[in-house]
């Protein structure tokens, strides 16, 4: 069987994105104003900050899609300072305005994706931090934003609600990310419902710890959305009772 084309990969991910977006909009539609102004799970951000960030992120990805379609390099944001200021300025808006902004920006993103010819999904676009990546990865980057920040709203949507395919893909991505970092003890990650056994820490070192659990629980911990709920930690064959203190300290998710 041949590998899917970039356009086919994008189309499949866009279907997943539509489902993730509907779940997010359902949560946002039930909010009242006082809840919008309450703290989210992200330090220093209210739920209004999270909702505004999601809307502006959608618009920033429209910029990248338009760049892929036209062949021009269009910045994701006007500047990093403007990005931060837009989030701050929009955080305290009334919930009706927040919801409509979230809905309309998601619709603009879907419309921009629908306009892209198949060949444009292979174009290189520039992330706000400067690196280049193919346009067919834009839908997945948006899925990540929606799924992670839906949890960050702290309104009942948890890592246990993540689609299994999302959690599995992010487990592989994050394990690869942390595998290359210095300072982590040799650790073996074992998914009890998926199959992969992936190492963290120095290559070729014998694992000091084994961390095992469902893939959603492992991804939640690796992404900073959990302190280890649902995981078990072993050292030298012995299961440790205090999971949170036994787990390696991870830097913020990349």
Domain ranges of the chain: 6-157, 164-246
Strands (E), 66-146: 124-126, 132-134
The single-letter DSSP state of residue 252 is P
Q: Which of 7-11, 179-183, 184-188, 222-226 has the lowest mean pLDDT?
A: 179-183
Closest listed residue to residue 139, CA positions, set 251, 2, 9:
9
pLDDT of residue 223 exceeding 80 = yes
> With contact defined as beta carbons under 8 Å apart, do 233 and 210 qualify?
yes
Total residue count of the chain as it appears in this document: 254
Mean pLDDT of 221-238: 94
pLDDT of 253 reads: 66
The model's pTM is: 0.95
DSSP 39: B
Where does 12-87 show beta strands of DSSP type E?
none
At 105 the three-state DSSP class reads: helix
Measured at the alpha carbon of residue 219, what is the angle toward residues 173 and 38, in degrees to the nearest 5?
Answer: 120
List, as one string, the DSSP characters of 82-99.
HHHHHHHHHTTS-HHHHH
Q: What pLDDT does residue 203 have? A: 72
Q: Is the pLDDT of residue 183 over 90?
A: no
Query: Which secondary structure element, helix H or strand E, spans residue 220, and what is its range?
Result: helix 215-222
d(CA 35, CA 194): 37
More confident residue, 125 or 253: 125
**Which CATH number fits the domain 164-246, given the four candidates 3.30.1050.20, 3.60.20.30, 3.30.70.360, 3.40.50.300?**
3.30.1050.20
Pairing of strands 132-134, 124-126: antiparallel
SS3 153: coil
Rounded distance between C-alpha atoms, residue 124 and residue 246, angstroms: 42
The answer to whether the Cα torsion of 181, 187, 192, 195 is positive or negative is positive
The correct answer on CATH 2.60.120.620 for the domain covering 6-157 is no
The answer, yes or no, to whether residue 254 has pLDDT greater than 60, is no
Burial of 23: CB neighbours in 10 Å, binned 0-12, 13-18, 19+: middle
pLDDT bucket at 116, cuts 50 / 70 / 90: very high
Measured between alpha carbons, how far is 124 from 105 in angstroms, rounded to an integer? 23
């Amino acid at each position: 069987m041949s590998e899917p084309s970039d356009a086919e990969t994008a189309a499949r991910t866009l279907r997943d994105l539509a489902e993730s977006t509907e779940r997010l909009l359902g949560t946002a539609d039930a909010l009242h104003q006082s809840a919008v102004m309450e703290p989210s799970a992200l330090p220093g951000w209210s739920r209004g900050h999270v909702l505004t960030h999601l809307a502006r992120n959608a618009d920033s990805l429209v910029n990248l899609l338009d760049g892929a379609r036209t062949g021009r390099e269009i910045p994701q944001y006007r500047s990093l300072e403007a990005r931060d200021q837009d989030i701050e300025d929009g955080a305290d808006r009334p919930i009706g305005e927040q919801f409509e902004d979230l809905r309309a920006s998601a619709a603009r993103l879907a419309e921009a994706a629908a306009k892209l010819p198949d060949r444009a999904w292979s174009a290189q676009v520039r992330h706000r931090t400067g690196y280049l990546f193919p346009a067919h990865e834009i839908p997945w980057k948006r899925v990540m934003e929606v799924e992670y920040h839906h949890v960050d709203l702290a309104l009942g949507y948890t890592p246990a609600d993540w689609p299994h395919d999302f959690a599995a893909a992010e487990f592989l991505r994050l394990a690869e990310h942390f595998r290359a970092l210095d300072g982590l003890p040799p650790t073996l990650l074992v998914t009890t419902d998926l199959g992969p056994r992936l190492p963290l820490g120095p290559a070729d070192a014998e694992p000091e710890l084994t961390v095992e659990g469902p893939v959603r629980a492992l991804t939640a911990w690796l992404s900073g959305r959990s302190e280890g709920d649902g995981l078990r930690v072993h050292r030298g064959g012995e299961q440790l009772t205090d999971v949170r203190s036994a787990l390696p300290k991870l830097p913020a998710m990349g």
